[in-house]
Amino acid sequence: MERLVIVSGGAQGIGKCIVEHLLSAGYRVSVLDSDREAIGEVEHEFAERIRPNFNVWFQVGDVSKEEDVSVFVQSTIDRFGGIYGLVNNAGISRNKPLSELTLEDWYAVLGVNLTGAFLLSKYTAPYIADSQGAIVNICSTRALMSEPNTEAYSASKGGLLALTHALAISLSPKIRVNAISPGWIEVSAYRKSSARKRVSLSEQDHSQHPAGRVGEAADIARMVLFLLDPANSFITGQNFVIDGGMTKKMIYV
């Protein structure tokens, strides 16, 4: 049986690129995403290249709602028969000054970015354990450093990083759990049409990264494949910072 991986927020952005790489690597993929418009677009796009009824499936749902997650996981089992891996990728941000950040904003961001990962991990864990599989949490360098007005987002990603090592211990030795913390990743080409904007990156944008360029979604997708690979079974509880070296760069004014 081909291995099945669940990807949350897989209809656009980094998640869409991860889905593409998983399919190219021979995985089957089940996607939970809240954006119907994005799902409609990506289903149409994928239908021209793959067999959508066989190896990839999209379902509309809210990762922060337990019922949506429970129904989605059971539907995935009914459709595919098992789960090898989970990529907790779904994420939102509501960056605004602290004085303007409402409690509703706070709960919304933590609900998707942190509670969603908890719920999906909880409901998929028994099946992933049966497959001796892996969980990959898409975290952020904002778990380690911040820009102004990112309290909710940074807190959610810091929580996700802590959840990663907690799950790695609780679910061992049958499930490996790791995190990836992207830095600046340009994803314009992976957004739905109505949200897609032409982005022009400057030489300064690229040169401020020690690696010499701004990141691409494929940089993250390739690390996801690495961490899902059973050949790398000695790696768990870790956070892999994919940021072109920015978090190691000392900046003097």
Question: Which residues belong to the active site?
Answer: 153
Answer positive or negative: Cα dihedral of 95, 224, 213, 10. Answer: negative
Contacts of 74 (CB under 8 A, 6+ apart): none
| 220 Ramachandran zone, left/alpha/beta (phi>0; psi -120 to 50) | alpha
**141: enclosing H helix or E strand:** none
If you ran DSSP here, which 8-state letter would residue 115 be given? Answer: I
Contacts of 128 (CB under 8 A, 6+ apart): 83, 84, 85, 86, 134, 135, 171, 174, 175
The token pair that represents 107 in the structure block: 């709960």
Q: Round to whole Å and give the CA distance between 115 and 68.
A: 13
The token pair that represents 33 in the structure block: 């995403």
Q: Round to whole Å and give the CA distance between 228 and 148.
A: 34
